[in-house]
């Protein structure tokens, strides 16, 4: 077994995951996962997939994938970097031609604007003076005649009653949620949720990470959510009614924000796993 494989296997066993669980979370075949743990990279479909599979495996078991790849880069097949380099070289040339093409069109557009602006100003001035000459001078300069019948107008009295504004109802403030950290054991944080009813648990994901939500205090079956959120899917939001005890398990706390009724839960915000159990309870205010 390789050093990298031993590290991944130890992290997996510490979280109580089997290879079948990792296969379900990452959608990577079990025989590829076994090959990564034993260091037999020839089993994988190509050297490019070795780094991608190792990165996904590390994040699923709560490790810093970038740090793992950096520490064990000598153990991974070297051909992967050369393959990536060839792909990048092929993509550089079209981008340069596109930039040059856009520059030429930009210069042409600027030149057209510089010529069109004075022409537009001249056209506006011509139209303005043409309309001024066509106007009747008698209508523009002759004031209305003053007669003896002209007098000061008498203001009219409005008899329309002023409507009385209807009182605005005062909104009833909703009770604020109260979260209390009751204990921390076996790597799990236990929160008690009180005050108010109809609480909602919300998880906002901002990066590549595995996330699971299960009824109760442990991960059983597929639960309410059992998913690896990829970079193409972020930002992503998942919400569930907190009408029962829920267990939240996230591979990296720094890529997720957990909140109850809009109140953020302190999950440490570190590049490591976080496991929290939320238990809704009835406070004294609800009992009355």
Positive/negative CA dihedral, 81, 82, 86, 89: positive
pTM here is: 0.42
pLDDT of residue 25: 93
Task: Give me the DSSP letters along 164-215.
Answer: PPPPPPPPPPPPPPEEEEEEEETTEEEEEEESSSS-EEEEEE-SSEEEEEEE
Strands (DSSP E) found in the chain: 178-185, 188-194, 200-205, 209-215, 225-229, 236-241, 246-250, 256-260, 263-264, 274-280
Question: Using alpha carbons only, what angle is made at residue 12 by residues 9 and 18, rounded to the nearest 5 degrees?
Answer: 100
Task: Sketch the domain layout of the chain as residue ranges.
Answer: 3-77, 178-287
- Cβ within 8 Å of residue 80, ≥6 positions away: 47, 48, 50, 51
List the one residue out of 279, 274, 277, 280 whose CA is nearest residue 211: 274
Q: Which residues of the chain have pLDDT under 70?
A: 1, 78-104, 132-175, 195-197, 282-288
Q: In this predicted model, what pLDDT tens digit does every residue of 216-261 receive, in sequence order?
A: 898 877 789 988 999 999 899 999 998 889 999 998 989 899 999 8
Which residues pair with residue 257 across a beta bridge?
204
CATH superfamily of this structure's domain 3-77: lambda repressor-like DNA-binding domains (1.10.260.40)
- Dihedral pair phi/psi, residue 177, rounded to 5°: -70, 145
Return the structure tokens found at 136: 């009747």
pLDDT of residue 86: 42
pLDDT of residue 238: 93
274-280 and 188-194 strand pairing: parallel
Residue 30 to residue 240: CA distance in whole angstroms: 31
Q: In this predicted model, what pLDDT tens digit does every residue of 182-199 receive, in sequence order?
A: 999 888 999 999 866 678
pLDDT of residue 219: 83
Q: Is residue 241 within 8 Å of 200, Cβ to Cβ?
A: yes
């Amino acid at each position: 077994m390789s050093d990298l494989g031993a590290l991944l296997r130890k992290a997996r066993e510490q979280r109580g995951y089997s290879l079948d669980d990792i296969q379900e979370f990452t959608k990577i075949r079990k025989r590829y996962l076994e090959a990564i743990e034993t260091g037999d990279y020839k089993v994988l479909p190509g050297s490019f997939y070795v780094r991608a599979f190792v990165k996904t495996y590390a994040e699923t078991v709560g490790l810093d994938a970038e740090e793992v790849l950096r520490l064990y880069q000598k153990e991974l097949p070297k051909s992967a970097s050369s393959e990536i380099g060839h792909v990048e070289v092929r993509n550089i040339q079209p981008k340069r031609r596109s930039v040059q093409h856009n520059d030429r069109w930009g210069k042409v557009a600027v030149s057209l604007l510089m010529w069109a602006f004075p022409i537009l100003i001249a056209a506006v001035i011509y139209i303005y003076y043409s309309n001024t000459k066509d106007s009747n001078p008698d209508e523009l300069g002759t004031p209305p005649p003053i007669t003896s019948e002209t007098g000061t107008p008498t203001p009219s009295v409005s008899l329309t009653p002023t409507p009385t504004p209807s009182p605005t109802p005062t909104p009833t403030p909703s009770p604020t949620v109260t979260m209390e950290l009751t204990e921390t054991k076996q790597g799990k944080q236990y929160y008690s949720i009180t005050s108010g009813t109809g609480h909602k648990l919300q998880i906002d994901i901002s990066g590549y990470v595995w996330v699971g939500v299960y009824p109760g205090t442990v991960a059983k079956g597929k639960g309410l959510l059992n998913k690896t959120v990829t970079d193409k899917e972020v930002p992503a939001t998942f919400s569930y009614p907190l009408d029962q005890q829920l267990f939240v398990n996230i591979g990296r706390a720094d890529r997720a924000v957990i909140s109850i009724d809009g109140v953020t839960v302190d999950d440490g915000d570190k590049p490591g796993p976080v496991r929290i159990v939320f238990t809704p309870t009835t406070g004294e205010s609800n009992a009355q």
